[in-house]
Amino acid sequence: MELTQAIRMRRMVRSFAADRLDPDLVGRLVGDALRAPSAGNTRGVAWLVLEGPDTAEYWASTTTPEWRRTSRRFAGLARAPVVALSLCSPSAYVERYGEADKLGAGLGPLDLGEGGENAWPVPYWFGDAAFSTMLLLLGAEDAGLGAVFLGSFRGETGLLSSLGVPGGWRLFGAVVMGRPDGRDATSPSLARRPAPGAGALHRSRW
């Protein structure tokens, strides 16, 4: 599939078949996602892939029993054979921007007289995680799979601890991936109007 076609065809899919995915395919898609741009070549992004029964840990940590019981989406989402966790390391970026070629930006470690994590007006670690996530979503489309991105709203600390993730890493979100089962309901978000000026190309001036 050409890149333009993958971009135009990509949609969030929320209902999956339980069919297992080839681990080599999943590994290739995540490997490609890790080729995303990285600020200062920090490479402070990692993926943790949960497959099969291991995906249950994600749902148990990040959702509530009531939501799982009442959500019309949960059954379709929970059938997905892969949940890939997009992780980033803020400290890796702070340390990188304390190195000689970046020192003076004010974004390095506090012990170097810089501003530390709180000095970053737009944290590059989340930006890099987003770049990598987008590549995985496009790669899934190219491979004929369905995927959806789910943000991190609750349960991050417990989930990462239970999975052995070292301290200091943050959960940007998860890409739930598998083969669409054709039972996905249209998202009501598609009916929303964008904010004035959003979703438009502006040239020279707004």
CATH code at 3-178: 3.40.109.10
Strand-strand pairing, 82-88 and 45-51: antiparallel
The model carries a pTM of 0.94
Q: What is the pLDDT of residue 193?
A: 87
Residue 95 structure tokens: 């340390």
Amino acid identity at 62: T
DSSP secondary structure code for residue 191 in this structure: G
Q: What is the pLDDT of residue 108?
A: 97
User: How far apart (Å, rounded) are the C-alpha atoms in residues 5 and 138?
Assistant: 10
Q: What is the pLDDT of residue 137?
A: 98
Ranges of each domain in the chain: 3-178
Strand-strand pairing, 45-51 and 146-151: unpaired
Contact 87, 47 (CB under 8 A): yes
Contact 161, 74 (CB under 8 A): no
Q: What is the pLDDT of residue 123?
A: 98
Contact 123, 44 (CB under 8 A): no
Q: What is the pLDDT of residue 184?
A: 87
Q: What is the pLDDT of residue 185?
A: 80
CA-based max dimension of the chain: 56
pLDDT in tens, the chain (206 residues): 799 999 999 999 999 999 999 999 999 999 999 999 999 999 999 999 999 999 999 999 999 999 999 999 999 999 999 999 999 999 999 999 999 999 999 999 999 999 999 999 999 999 999 999 999 999 999 999 999 999 999 999 999 999 999 999 999 999 999 999 999 888 888 888 889 989 899 999 99
